[in-house]
């Protein structure tokens, strides 16, 4: 029994000696470690910038706002008029949420993007949430989540979302959403034509079909946002009118 105790004491002593030698090694060779860190970082930057280049696909949707009204007015024309685009007597004021000056910010907002992520897209003979489709079809698995010399691949690439309200997302899901939002925000832009009622939405990804599907999905989410806002505004007006009638 005494031999076992002595053995355990020796093992513990050897362990602490090993730890001490390790930290002593780090202290004596910090310059070498610093150089290795710098070289690794430079390699990672060069690899991502030059060596890991690939084809990208850009797409755009340009549409003309139909503001004449009537049954022939398309959906885009309807919601664009509420943004105050194209002039006319019904043009919204700059301070309104749906004013033309806010059009770009609304489309690129987190709320509209997140709603777009939860929309379904058709992939072959099946439907899939856009966010899962994006994870599978974009280069985010190999780039942002691919890891490098100092960290392993992110587990985000294996996660599958289920359709639910944004308010129900977990902190873990919000972290994944933040990465995807940042990536798509940086490759998406909205350009209203100041001299006409034309508006263009541009996007660029590493997948041709993904670029097309993203632009269309984002437009659909914007339409949903407009419809919800108009419904809320109409209900508010009705409540005000009912209050006046009751008084």
Residue 90 has a pLDDT of 42
Residue 37 has a pLDDT of 72
* φ and ψ of 126, to 5 deg: -130, 165
Tokens of 156: 């985000």
Tokens of 67: 């503001």
Residue 155 DSSP code: G
The DSSP result for 163-195, as a single string, is ---GGG--HHHHHHHHHHHHHHHTTEEEEE-TT
Residue 45 has a pLDDT of 65
42 burial class (0-12, 13-18, 19+ CB within 10 angstroms)?
exposed
Residue 47 DSSP code: I
Residue 86 has a pLDDT of 43
Residue 30 has a pLDDT of 66
Residue 130 has a pLDDT of 97
Q: In Å, what is the CA distance from 14 to each residue of 18, 19, 20, 78?
A: 6, 9, 10, 77
Q: Which of 219, 129, 128, 117 is nearest to 178 (CA)?
A: 117
Residue 64 has a pLDDT of 62
Residue 74 has a pLDDT of 45
Angle, alpha carbons 61-65-71 (nearest 5°): 120
Rounded mean pLDDT for each run of 10 residues along the chain, 247 residues in total: 49 69 68 71 64 78 55 45 43 48 82 94 93 95 85 91 91 96 95 77 94 94 83 72 65
């Amino acid at each position: 029994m005494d031999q076992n105790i002595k053995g355990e004491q020796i093992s513990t002593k050897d362990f602490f000696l090993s730890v001490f030698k390790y930290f002593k090694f780090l202290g004596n060779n910090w310059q070498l470690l610093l150089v290795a860190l710098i070289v690794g970082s430079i390699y990672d930057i060069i690899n991502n910038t030059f060596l890991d280049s690939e084809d990208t696909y850009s797409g755009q949707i340009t549409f003309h706002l139909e503001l004449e009204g009537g049954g022939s007015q398309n959906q885009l024309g309807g919601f664009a008029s509420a943004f105050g685009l194209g002039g006319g007597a019904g043009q919204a004021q700059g301070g309104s949420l749906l004013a033309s000056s806010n059009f770009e910010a609304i489309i690129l907002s987190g709320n509209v993007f997140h709603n777009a992520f939860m929309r379904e897209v058709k992939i072959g003979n099946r439907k899939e949430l856009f966010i899962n489709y994006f994870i599978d079809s974009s280069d985010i698995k190999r780039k942002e989540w691919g890891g490098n010399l100092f960290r392993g691949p992110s587990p985000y690439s294996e996660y599958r979302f289920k359709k639910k309200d944004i308010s129900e997302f977990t902190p873990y899901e919000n972290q994944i959403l933040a990465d995807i939002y940042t990536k798509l925000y940086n490759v998406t832009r909205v350009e209203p034509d100041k001299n006409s009622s034309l508006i263009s939405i541009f996007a660029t990804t590493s997948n041709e079909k993904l670029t097309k599907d993203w632009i269309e999905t984002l437009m659909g989410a914007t339409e949903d946002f407009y419809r919800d806002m108009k419904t809320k505004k109409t209900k508010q007006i009705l409540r005000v009118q009912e209050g006046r009638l009751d008084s």
